[in-house]
Chains A and B, each alone.
Chain A
C-alpha cells in the first residue's frame, strides 16, 4: 500500500536514513526512539507535508486518504469544535456522532479555549477519524496528559482502532507501553541511523 525509502544520509538536512518503511492495509506501526531523532519528521514525510525532504523515494504509494493527528490539537481557536470538524471535511450531519464516538458530548458549539488538553486531543482524534482515512498518523497522542487521562485515551484509541481493522496506523511515541498497546509492529529509530530497521512482524517485548 505504501513503501517509502529514505536514502539521504549524505545531505545536510537529513536526519533520517537510510531507512525503509512499508505499510500494509490494516497494519499498526509504531515509530519509537528518543526525542529529536526524527520521528515527527518521518510522519511529516509520510503525510506529504515535508515534500521537499531530500532523498525520499516512494517505492509504492497508492492514492491514500491520510489523516494526521498532530501532537498539539491544532484546532482553529476562532472556530467552534463543530466548525473545526467541518473545515477538515467532516459532513455537518456527522459531527455529533464523530464527537460522541470519542466520548465527547455537548462540545460542538464550544471554542477550543474552553476545552482541556485531553478534550482537545479527543476533538483532534474525532477530526482525524471522521474523514474516514485509509492511514492514520498519530504523533505522541498521549504525551503531556496526566496518567489517568492518558490511560483513558489509550483505551479509547485501542477500541476505535479495533473497530476499524482496515485502517493502517503509524504511531510516533517515546513510550514503549503505548507502542506495545497500540501497535503490532515497531520501528526503532536512533540518532545514528546506521541500521535499517524493518518493522518486526511479531510482537516482541523489546520495543526500545
Chain B
C-alpha cells in the first residue's frame, strides 16, 4: 500500500515536472505552468466559486450514476437470464449504444427544454446501455452447478440474491461502476456546457470563451481529484471487503 502510494506520487511528480519545464521553455499563455494552475485553483477555492460548481456537478453525477446503475442492472439481468427478453431488447440496446451521447443530449434539450431533468436524463440514458451490457455478460456467466445446488437446498430469494448471485456478479458490478463513474462525469460536463448555467461544465464553457486555459485545467483537475477520492475511499475498500474470500494472493491490484 505504502509503496503503491509512493509510485503514484512519483508519477504525478514527474509529469508535473515535465509540464513545468515545457511551460517555462515555451513561455506561452496558452500553456500555463502547473504552479499558475495551482494558484488559480486555490484562488477559486477560497472565493467559494469552485466548491459551488463542484457540488452542483457532483450532485448530477451521483443522481445519474445511481439511476443508470439501477436501470442498467435490471435490464442487463433480464437480458442475461431470459433469452426472449434479450431478443426483444437487444436491438434497442444496440441502438442506444451506438447513438452518440451528443445526439441524445441535444434531442432531450430540444424536447424537454433546457431543464435539469433533461440534463440528468440524458446522462442516464447514455450510461444505461453500458451497464446493461456488462451485467448481461455477468448474468450469463453464472455457475449453473451452484444454481442447481441452491435449488436442491431450497435457497430463499434473498439467499439467492445476496449469497449466490451478487458475489458472482461482483466483478462485473465493479467494472460497470468504475467505467460508469468515469463516463458519467464526462457526459455531465457536456450536458452542462450545452444547457446549464452552473456546474464545472458551465465554468469550462466560460473559460473556453475567454481562452483561459489555466481556468480550464484548474476546474478539470478539481474534478479528477474528486473522482480519484471516490475510487480510494469508496470503490477500493468495497472491493477489498468483497474479495476477502479469495485471500491475499488473488487480490486485485487495481
Contacts and interface: CB of A to CB of B under 8 A. Distances in A.
Interface of A: 44, 47, 49, 66-68, 70, 72, 74, 76-79, 83, 87-89, 111, 113-114, 127, 131
Contacts, number: 46
Interface of B: 145-146, 148-149, 151-155, 159, 163-164, 167, 242, 245-247
A87 B145 contact: no
Given A72-B145, A111-B245, A78 B152 contact: no
Given A113-B245, A113-B246, A76 B163 contact: yes
B154 A49 contact: no
A68 B164 contact: no
- Pairs of residues from A and B, 9 with the lowest C-beta to C-beta distance, nearest first: A88-B153, A74-B149, A78-B167, A68-B152, A78-B245, A111-B245, A49-B148, A74-B145, A87-B163
A49 B164 contact: no
Contacts of B247: 111, 113-114
B243 to A, nearest CB: 9
Contacts of A113: 245-247
A87 B245 contact: no
Contacts of A66: 152
A68 to B, nearest CB: 4
Contacts of B151: 49
Given A68-B153, A89-B153, 15 more contacts: A44-B148, A49-B152, A66-B152, A68-B149, A68-B152, A74-B145, A74-B146, A74-B149, A76-B146, A79-B245, A87-B155, A87-B159, A87-B163, A88-B153, A131-B153
A127 B154 CA distance: 13
Nearest to A73: B149
B167 A76 contact: yes
Contacts of A127: 153
Contacts of B242: 78
A140 B191 CA distance: 61
A47 B152 contact: yes
A77 B245 contact: yes
Q: Which of B149, B159, B247 has the most CB of A within 10 A?
A: B149
25 contacts: A44-B148, A49-B152, A67-B152, A68-B149, A70-B148, A72-B145, A74-B145, A74-B146, A74-B149, A76-B146, A76-B163, A77-B245, A78-B242, A78-B245, A83-B163, A87-B153, A88-B153, A89-B153, A89-B154, A111-B245, A111-B247, A113-B245, A114-B247, A127-B153, A131-B153
B25 to A, nearest CB: 54
Contacts of A78: 167, 242, 245
